Amino acid sequence: MNIISVKNAVYVYNSGLEDEVMALRGVSFDVEQGEFISLIGSNGSGKSTLARLLNGLYLPDEGEVIVNGKSTLTAKHKDMFDIRRTVGVVFQNPDNQMVASIIEDDVAFGPENLGLPSAEIKERVEWALDRVGMSEYRKGTPFRLSGGQKQRIAIAGVLALMPRVMILDESTAMLDPRGRKEVMDTVRRIREKEGMTVIMITHFPDEAALADRVIALSEGRVVIDADAHRALSDVETLRQYGLDAPLCTRVAYELRKRGVELDGNIITDRELREKLCRSK
């Protein structure tokens, strides 16, 4: 079953005003439970707007967003509550996502708002902190953590709500390479252990290459929706939308132009290494 279905969604900011912006111009795609998708697109292409439509924070002006069988447009209070719980979002700035001065209280904030019994809250917090590899910090304060660690706490906060879909909206954009790697390893671990559906918005092509499927937006429209190897190895199509392929893909592209024989779609360093060893 599709956990998310987007049908011709249109979203307009400041509708009817002079500064009207049509951020989404008829977006359609389906997400199956368990998929790992990266959502790419240049600045202003509509990625964050789409993320907000997917968890019911914004409602489409035209078309429909269906989460877990329920349309966000017609959802009444209880259904909207379910939709928000089904789709958790981790944002870009870790500092804006901290609410408490003790880490475990911070992670407990969401489940407490759901009104869960305290034993279950405790269990969820322990589980979520374990999944992001931050259990040993649970009594500490989030403010002294590195950016990568803060983002892992933010991810734990979303995990503790046990969403079926987790959206990361450029959650590594403000981190140094080490922090980025920490967060990406965390996402990978959650994928492996929980099989959670993940939609990762990123402008780093090497991060996008970790997903199974890539959706690219350009000016509020879906311009690419394909298997990650196909999408990210198409250097020229990506370029057309102002996007870069992963570095190893661009290296392979240049080598091929110079006559090196490299077969298949290369989107990871490992694939490039293996193909180079075998090339003539």
Question: Among 1-9, 43-51, 90-98, 187-195, which window interacts with ligand ADP (CB under 6 A)?
Answer: 43-51
Nearer to ligand ADP, 15 or 74 (CB): 15
Q: Which of 6, 9, 23, 216 binds ligand ADP (CB under 6 A)?
A: 23
Length of the chain counted residue by residue: 280
Which of 5, 38, 45, 48 touches Mg ion (CB under 5 A)? 48
C-alpha to C-alpha distance for 211 and 227, rounded to whole angstroms? 9
Give the torsion sign (CA, 185, 188, 194, 199). Answer: positive
Interacting stretch for Mg ion, rule CB under 5 A, among 16-24, 43-51, 104-112, 187-195? 43-51
Q: Which stretch binds ligand ADP (CB under 6 A): 25-33, 42-50, 223-231, 259-267?
A: 42-50
Structure tokens, 178: 């080490």
d(CA 34, CA 241): 28
Among the listed ranges 41-49, 112-120, 236-244, 255-263, the one in contact with Mg ion (CB under 5 A) is: 41-49
Least CB distance from residue 10 to ligand ADP, whole Å? 12
- Using CB under 6 A as the binding rule, whether residue 34 contacts ligand ADP is answered as no
Which of these, 125, 122, 100, 121, lies nearest to 112 by C-alpha position? Answer: 121
Element (H, E) at 64: strand 62-67
Question: CB burial class (10 A; 0-12, 13-18, 19+) of residue 94?
Answer: buried
Rule CB under 6 A: is residue 38 a binding residue for ligand ADP? no
What DSSP character marks residue 79? Answer: H
Query: Is position 45 an interface residue for ligand ADP (rule: CB under 6 A)?
Result: yes
| Cβ 170 to Mg ion shortest distance, Å | 6
What is the rounded distance in angstroms from the CA atom of residue 142 to the CA atom of residue 100?
A: 8
Q: Is the Cα torsion angle 219, 188, 194, 163 positive or negative in sign?
A: negative
**Phi/psi of residue 91, nearest 5 degrees:** -95, -175
**3-class state of residue 37 by DSSP:** strand
43: partner contacted, choices ligand ADP, Mg ion, none (Cβ within 5-8 A by kind): ligand ADP
Q: From residue 46 to residue 75, what is the string marking binding to ligand ADP with x (rule CB under 6 A)? A: xxxx--------------------------
Contact with ligand ADP (CB under 6 A) among 43, 139, 144, 280: 43
Amino acid identity of residue 178, one-letter, is R
Count of chain residues binding Mg ion (CB under 5 A) = 2
- Encoded one letter per residue, x for contact with Mg ion by CB under 5 A and - for no contact, window 126-155 reads ------------------------------
Residue 28 or 135 with smaller CB distance to ligand ADP? 28
Q: Find residue 225's DSSP bridge partners.
A: 215
Q: What is the smallest separation between the CB atom of 56 and Mg ion, expressed in angstroms?
A: 18
Question: What DSSP letter does each residue of 171-215 carry, written as one string?
Answer: TTTTS-HHHHHHHHHHHHHHHHHH--EEEEE-S-HHHHTTSSEEE
Residues that bind Mg ion (CB under 5 A): 47-48
Residues that bind ligand ADP (CB under 6 A): 13-14, 21, 23, 41, 43-49
